[in-house]
Amino acid sequence: MPENRRHAPGVSTRLDTYVDRYAARTKGMTASEIRALFAVASRPEVVSLAGGMPNISGLPLDVVGGAIHDLVDERGAVAMQYGSGQGDPTLREQICEVMALEGIDAHPDDVVVTVGSQQAVDLVTRIFCDPGDVVICEAPSYVGALGVFRAYECEVVHAAMDAEGLVPEALAEAIAAVQAAGKRVKFCYTIPNFHNPAGVTLSASRRAEILRVCREADVLVLEDNPYGLLGFDRDPHRALRAEEADGVVYLGSFSKTFAPGFRVGWALAPHAVREKLVLAQESATLCPPSFSQLAVSAYLSEHDWLGQIKQFREMYRERRDAMIGALDDLMPAGATWNVPEGGFYVWLTLPDGLDAKAMLPRAVTARVAYVPGTAFFADGSGAQSMRLSYCYPTPERIREGVRRLVGVIEQETDLRSTFGTGSGPVAGRGYEAPNTDLS
């Protein structure tokens, strides 16, 4: 071991002796608030309304197991070999069939398979953004994408959303302000369907408006759509990419409609961009994993995957109903939330004066976890709000989680009215959750 990597006896090994060698971009790499929560929130006694883990308990593991067995048996030598940097051609054809459900008419040549859509966000940012370039994001936005933008030293500028999704006027103003400051907007990152974390969906009339604003300002749209097929009450919305092929890079994923463990997602890009994405993919991973791709491909060709998605939608709808029912019944006046039409998330804003981040330790003591709104803003705002996920716990657990959360909010409100402050030094005993056989 080189001298400078040795630790003298008695010197804490927790000190990072490499600290002066890291690239500047690592300063932007911090554990997300969600990761920091993970250890606590995954304890069985805690009702976690925090994580966004898909609930794959309904997957027919015998069918998947059989398909994987056959894959090894029949195509093992291909499945366990390196593959093409762009991804398996058959899977790319199947991906085009999936996207056709959202009105997208695409050619498999323009699809690049990625390691989850998370890697697609990374590759797109890698090929477009230099340090200091601006990415426009909804306010709030997906924490994993914000992490990528930070890692590439982009500046994130938020544009407002409301119940109909991203507000076109706010987007136009944000772009104009950035351009007036002499900076370049490289793309607008948007999650049009069943937004993570806001739960809202971009209305049909706004879709055309958002495309128009971006076209006129010469800004690329990065459409991230992992939840699009998980609507509860209607056929899928038409993708932005369905209306415009040139100015949009579309990202999809099998994580929420099949299983995240395979880590298979994709990007659909204009031809020239696709070329760059393949080069970026090759330098990042050589090729996306053959085994996962062929397993997903076998699942799509041999299983009723649309029927499976229907089952997922029904399960998530039941959980959404449990969450909204519990919020309607139990939440105190002053708290507001939306009713998502699909996906995994509700965005809840606390009564005035309360701070979701400061309240979190108290909530965890009360055995309920959520993600504070601050995780979803690059500028640290959002403290009065939180993301509640209903995808994973059972309806009974969801209701119990909301009941515990309401207890914490009420205690917090009492503290404020008594001492003029909530969580913090004045905080007294933690809220004690009553005994329950749900914990």
Ligand X SMILES: Cc1ncc(COP(=O)(O)O)c(C=O)c1O
Of 133, 186, 149, 198, nearest to 337 (Cα)?
A: 198
Positions 5 through 64 that interact with ligand X (CB under 6 A): 52
To the nearest whole angstrom, how small is the minimum distance from the Cβ of residue 377 to ligand X?
15
* Residue 144: φ, ψ to 5°: -65, -35
The set of residues, in sequence order, having a beta carbon less than 8 Å from that of 32 and lying 6+ positions away, is: 143, 144, 147, 375
Positions 394 through 433 that interact with ligand X (CB under 6 A): none
Interacting span for ligand X (CB under 6 A) from 71-79, 116-124, 277-285, 305-313: 116-124
Nearer to ligand X, 196 or 423 (CB): 196
When binding is defined by CB under 6 A, the residue of 48, 94, 196, 201 that contacts ligand X is 196
Query: Judged by CB under 6 A, does residue 117 bind ligand X?
Result: yes
Interacting span for ligand X (CB under 6 A) from 114-122, 161-169, 174-182, 354-362: 114-122
Site string for ligand X, 122-161 (x = CB under 6 A): --------------------x-x-----------------
How far apart CA 379 and CA 368 sit, in angstroms, is: 26
How far apart CA 350 and CA 384 sit, in angstroms, is: 6
To the nearest whole angstrom, how small is the minimum distance from the Cβ of residue 32 to ligand X?
11
Nearer to ligand X, 309 or 358 (CB): 309
* Residue 266: φ, ψ to 5°: -160, 165
Query: Judged by CB under 6 A, does residue 193 bind ligand X?
Result: no
Q: What is the CA radius of gyration of the chain?
A: 23
Nearer to ligand X, 92 or 399 (CB): 92
Yes or no: say if 375 and 144 are a contact pair by the CB < 8 Å rule.
Answer: no
Nearer to ligand X, 118 or 201 (CB): 118
The set of residues, in sequence order, having a beta carbon less than 8 Å from that of 255 and lying 6+ positions away, is: 54, 116, 117, 226, 263, 264, 265
Nearer to ligand X, 165 or 226 (CB): 226
Query: Judged by CB under 6 A, does residue 340 bind ligand X?
Result: no
Yes or no: say if 189 and 145 are a contact pair by the CB < 8 Å rule.
Answer: yes
How far apart CA 73 and CA 87 sit, in angstroms, is: 21
Query: Judged by CB under 6 A, does residue 253 bind ligand X?
Result: yes
Q: What is the DSSP code string of 74-96?
A: HHHHHHTS---TT--HHHHHHHH
Nearer to ligand X, 326 or 391 (CB): 391
When binding is defined by CB under 6 A, the residue of 83, 147, 199, 265 that contacts ligand X is 265
To the nearest whole angstrom, how small is the minimum distance from the Cβ of residue 268 to ligand X?
14
Residues in the chain: 439
- Tokens standing for 264? 């298979």
Nearer to ligand X, 13 or 57 (CB): 57
To the nearest whole angstrom, how small is the minimum distance from the Cβ of residue 121 to ligand X?
6
Query: Judged by CB under 6 A, does residue 165 bind ligand X?
Result: no
To the nearest whole angstrom, how small is the minimum distance from the Cβ of residue 344 to ligand X?
8
When binding is defined by CB under 6 A, the residue of 85, 168, 192, 226 that contacts ligand X is 226
What is the distance between the terminal CA atoms of the chain, rounded to a whole angstrom?
Answer: 48
Query: Judged by CB under 6 A, does residue 345 bind ligand X?
Result: no
Element holding 194 (H helix, E strand): none
To the nearest whole angstrom, how small is the minimum distance from the Cβ of residue 262 to ligand X?
9
Of 213, 144, 225, nearest to 185 (Cα)?
A: 213
Q: Which residues of this protein are in contact with ligand X, per CB under 6 A?
A: 52, 116-118, 142, 144, 191, 196, 224, 226, 253, 255, 260, 265
